Amino acid sequence: MENAVANAIRVVALGNDGDGIAQTPEGRIFVPGTVPGDEILLVDQNGTHGTLDRVVIPGVDRVAAPCSLFGRCGGCRIQNMALPALLDWKTGRVLDSLQRVGFDAIPTPQAHQVSPHARRRVDLAFRRVGKEIVLGLHRRRGDVVDMTECTLLDPTLFDLLTPLRAMLHSLPAVHTGGDIQINLLDSGPDLLITMDGTPDPNDRRILAQFGKAHGVPRISLQARPPETLALTGPVFHHFDDVRVMPPPGAFLQPARRGAAFIKAAVLAGLPRKGLKAGIIELYAGCGTLSFALAEQAKVHAYEGDRAAFACLKQASGGTRVLPAQRDLNRQPVMATDLAKAAAVVLDPPHAGAGAQIAQIVAGKPPCVIYVSCNPVALQRDLTPLRQAGYRLDSITVIDQFLWSAEVESVCVLTLPGKNRRNRR
């Protein structure tokens, strides 16, 4: 044991992907499955990556992983770290990005974390292996690992997996395998399937029987656009009190409480007065935030995806949401329009807001509320806003991707001098 301790190396931090970082005489290396404070031994080292042999002395935040598939299933990268410490690390990632932006003052963030068994959307792969269907997530750079347990999924989704395996096994159109996206809507699970064969009437019959038996009102085939294979009941979801019919594979925040935390932070960031000028919402999707914002003011909601826009437009009648279809990467909302808004709310994709940021900077709306799922893009997009004089008023961090490196945040920025409206 003394020799092992003497030869051990110490993990000093987590990298952006959730792998532990250890400092060796040869330089920094990344070691999956480790947490800060661990004293470890390696099996081998290949350049900047090492393979863990064993933990000699565990770090204070190391815990036993709650799932026996941890280390094989590719769904959770950091299950061996206590959840409070994981939230602190994710908060630190966001704060580090904001510090790199160069704000004069960074407010103390509010931080929230969802509970286990709360995930309501998942993308899975399935493969025929012998006489069985293996259904789950890919191991890291490897094959599909059968999801025989899961600490992430809502029980309604997890309980669906066993009959789903049997149904997929019976489908003639499934030759070797495919992929399946599942959204847990208010109307029940919504399935979008990719398979390596062409479904015929017999496949559709099997799918319809499955849908009726297991409360799955719609099953669709991944195509351009998606094709409905079986429709056995109404498909709907609610954003606030507005009922929408999301398209197959629609974007949902992964957890209900996570969505609620984001919405609360966005609404709290709106100006107290002057909202008659209206709100411009960019990347509105199916209306995740639109209808809540419309309870405060008129909302000009822009969305580029055709199916999401159609859903938003259909549901917006009788509300103060004014939807417009627009590819914001190719045709951003212009500065002259943004300048007239009381607030601009944007929830861009993982890559960030791209060309839209330059127009926000030029338009100088008094309040910008940025919802981010990527600290790197957040830093890139907020840097020109800070250079234009915006200050950072509040930060909310939301961990709704438990045991992963993913983190959401909501940043509220205002322009001193131009922002003459009282804050909420």
The answer, yes or no, to whether residue 59 has pLDDT greater than 90, is yes
- Give the closest residue to 413 by CA, choosing from 258, 398, 389, 93: 389
Q: What percent of the chain stands above pLDDT 90? A: 91
The string of pLDDT tens digits covering residues 186-207 is 999 999 999 999 999 999 999 9
The answer, yes or no, to whether residue 419 has pLDDT greater than 70, is no
The answer, yes or no, to whether residue 421 has pLDDT greater than 80, is no
Give the whole-angstrom CA distance, residue 380 versus residue 253.
23
**Marked catalytic residue, from 76, 150, 367, 373:** 373
pTM: 0.94
- Give the closest residue to 250 by CA, choosing from 313, 161, 311: 311
The answer, yes or no, to whether residue 153 has pLDDT greater than 80, is yes
Q: Which of these CATH numbers, 3.40.50.360, 2.40.50.1070, 3.30.750.24, 1.10.645.10, describes 121-244? A: 2.40.50.1070
The predicted structure's pLDDT at residue 47: 84
The predicted structure's pLDDT at residue 312: 98
| Confidence label for 309 from pLDDT (cuts 50, 70 and 90) | very high
- Give the closest residue to 413 by CA, choosing from 341, 344, 337: 344
Count the alpha carbons within 13 Å of 270 in the hemisphere toward its beta carbon: 27
The CATH class that applies to domain 2-57 reads mainly beta
| Confidence label for 139 from pLDDT (cuts 50, 70 and 90) | confident
Q: What is the mean pLDDT of the chain?
A: 95
- CATH number at 83-115+253-414: 3.40.50.150
| Confidence label for 422 from pLDDT (cuts 50, 70 and 90) | very low
Beta strand pairing status for 39-46 and 9-14?
Answer: antiparallel
CA distances from 108 to 98, 112, 262, 345 (A): 12, 13, 17, 21
The predicted structure's pLDDT at residue 420: 42
Note if 373 is an active site residue.
yes
The structural domains of the chain, with segments of one domain joined by +, span 2-57, 83-115+253-414, 121-244
User: In the chain, what is the straight-line distance between the N-terminal and C-terminal CA atoms, in Å?
Assistant: 59
Residues 20/34, Cβ–Cβ less than 8 Å: yes
The string of pLDDT tens digits covering residues 66-118 is 999 998 998 899 999 999 999 999 999 999 999 999 998 999 999 999 999 99
Instruction: Kindly state the DSSP code that residue 75 receives in the 8-state scheme.
Output: T
The predicted structure's pLDDT at residue 24: 83
Residues 18/2, Cβ–Cβ less than 8 Å: no
Feature table: binding site for S-adenosyl-L-methionine = 253, 283, 303, 347
The predicted structure's pLDDT at residue 367: 98
The predicted structure's pLDDT at residue 418: 61
Beta bridge partners of 150: none
The answer, yes or no, to whether residue 423 has pLDDT greater than 50, is no
The predicted structure's pLDDT at residue 26: 80
The predicted structure's pLDDT at residue 221: 98
Give the whole-angstrom CA distance, residue 217 versus residue 208.
9
Q: What is the mean pLDDT of residues 127-141?
A: 92
The predicted structure's pLDDT at residue 74: 86
Residue 408 in tokens: 């959401």
Q: What is the mean pLDDT of residues 130-142?
A: 90
2-57 and 121-244 share one CATH topology?
A: yes
The answer, yes or no, to whether residue 424 has pLDDT greater than 60, is no
Feature table: binding site = 253, 283, 303, 347
| Confidence label for 3 from pLDDT (cuts 50, 70 and 90) | low
The answer, yes or no, to whether residue 319 has pLDDT greater than 90, is yes
